[in-house]
Structure 1
Amino acid sequence: MDQQATPPAGWRGGGATRLEAFVDAAFAFAVTLLVISADRVPDSVRALVLALKQVPAFAAGFALLALFWYAHVRWSRHYRLDGMLATLLSLLLVFLVLVYVYPLRLLLGTFFAWITAGWLPMPLSDVAGAPQIAFVFVFYGLAFASMSACMGGLYLLAWRRRRQLALDADRAADAMGEVAAYGYFCAVGMLSALVAIGLPEDAVPWQVAIPGTLYFLLSLTGLVHVLGRRRARRRVEAEGAANA
């Protein structure tokens, strides 16, 4: 007799709702827009090599989409929220993904072409100087920050409905930890965009690279999550003691 696999601890269900299925389908469609060679199958070794040089941009875009897709999967399975606000935030995330996905591929391709001094192909023919590269970082920063804000909003909704969901202290604290983490994502993306906006038109290469290097601050996300989770747990425990 077939046996169902045991779901991870804390997951509230295995079957996808219609909203989750729609979000999954939208992300899958977005991934198809990131294919290495979108116009035609390479018909020569030279065309194949050129297509393979697009792999770094494809991988970066795919990783970004996978990050937000799996974040929504975890939120859906852990909290199983429905209602107007949860639906609107999920649909807004889908909208942002579909709006940004193809420009994101072009912009990431431009970035990799720039850092490799043209060895990797340049997808945009009109990008040449610091102002254009700065625009790349502005666009990327706004995309990253807006999608992070959507996910942070979904986890904040779970935190606010912790009593309705009957979350224990650990699960409620996890939700606030995710809010802190995605709020930090949003802050880093906006900081990068603001620094890019402030770059002078005659910026030298090391100055143009600053908006990109700011994303290394994301290595501190784990610490931000722990601090947010710890603070939320103290609040939940204090509420429990007050209600006892």
Structure 2
Amino acid sequence: MKFLHNIGRIEAFSDAVFAFAATLMVVNFDLDTDLTLSKTDATGFLSFAVSFFVLVALWWAHYNFFRRTKYMDNVLIALNALLLFVVLYYVFPLKSLVHSWMGEGVKTKEDLSNLFVMYGIGFSLIFFCFSGMYFRAYKKSKSSEKSLNLYFYARHFAIFVLVSLISIVLALFGFGIEFGLPGFFYALLGPLCYLHSKQFYKRYELN
């Protein structure tokens, strides 16, 4: 006898992992007991703030996936587990990247290149999971209207993966490292996602 998956438990477990990731950020946030604000303290607070709100954005994307579909199977559970695994480690290279913006932690171009590669790998894996989850739900959807919506987001997050992979290549070969080009490359996400949306809605004659 085949039992249906309990989506509520999967969401609850996922929320617990996101909460644990936030806890790890707080534990690793150092604040001097004398209440004086130094450059190091300001950098630590900024890296914590950026990491926290990125974590919230990822949680929001995860939350929206479960609002858009009620389908669940073992493939989706595996992709969700991989997503949560990467999220737990993703915040740490992100914090280091913020430190590099403030001139701390990164001493050479090679250090910065490695940091961009670490960041890019985490970024690409996270959105590969999102894209894969949406595509799996799209393939299993029985509603044509909902199916198109799921397909749109599968393609939407695939753009994130493509951009991050190109950024990784730039970092590996050192193109524009001194100017932070692999990081600025992510700015293309806005226009690319906009063009994809316009093309998708025109192709499928959606309002």
- C-alpha offsets along residues 156-190 of structure 1, whole Å, 9 cap, x if unaligned? 01110121xxx242x22221111111100001111
Kindly indicate whether residue 43 of structure 2 is the aligned counterpart of residue 64 of structure 1: no
For normalisation by structure 1, the TM-score amounts to 0.73
Question: Which residue pairs with 2:79 in the alignment?
Answer: 89
CA distance in 1, matches of 2:22, 2:190: 25
Going by fraction, where is helix more abundant, 1 or 2? Answer: 2
The structure 2 residue matched to 1:190, chosen from 165, 179, 186, is 165
Matches within 5 A, 1:1-244: 17-35=8-26, 38=28, 41-46=31-36, 50-105=40-95, 107-114=96-103, 122=104, 124=105, 127-163=106-142, 167-169=143-145, 171-199=146-174, 205-206=178-179, 209-220=180-191, 221-228=193-200, 230-231=202-203, 233=204
Structure 1 unpaired stretches of 5+? 1-14, 115-121, 235-244
Question: Which residue pairs with 1:4 in the alignment?
Answer: none
- C-alpha offsets along residues 199-229 of structure 1, whole Å, 9 cap, x if unaligned? 17xx7733xx111110110112233234345
In 2 relative to 1, CA 99–204 (structure 1 residues): closer, same or farther, beyond 3 Å? closer
Q: Does the aligned pair in 1 maintain the 2:43–2:99 contact within 8 Å?
A: no
**Bigger radius of gyration, 1 or 2?**
1
In 2 relative to 1, CA 173–136 (structure 1 residues): closer, same or farther, beyond 3 Å? same
CA distance in 1, matches of 2:202, 2:64: 20
In 2 relative to 1, CA 199–48 (structure 1 residues): closer, same or farther, beyond 3 Å? closer
Q: Does the aligned pair in 2 maintain the 1:181–1:222 contact within 8 Å?
A: no
CA distance in 2, matches of 1:183, 1:102: 23
In 2 relative to 1, CA 66–226 (structure 1 residues): closer, same or farther, beyond 3 Å? farther
> Between Structure 1 and Structure 2, how many residues are aligned?
200
Question: Which residue pairs with 1:11 in the alignment?
Answer: none
For normalisation by structure 2, the TM-score amounts to 0.85
SS at match of 2:36: helix
SS at match of 1:173: helix
Q: Does the aligned pair in 1 maintain the 2:164–2:186 contact within 8 Å?
A: yes
CA distance in 2, matches of 1:95, 1:204: 29
- C-alpha offsets along residues 40-96 of structure 1, whole Å, 9 cap, x if unaligned? 553113357643332322232223222221111111122012210111111111111
Residue identity matched to 2:94: L
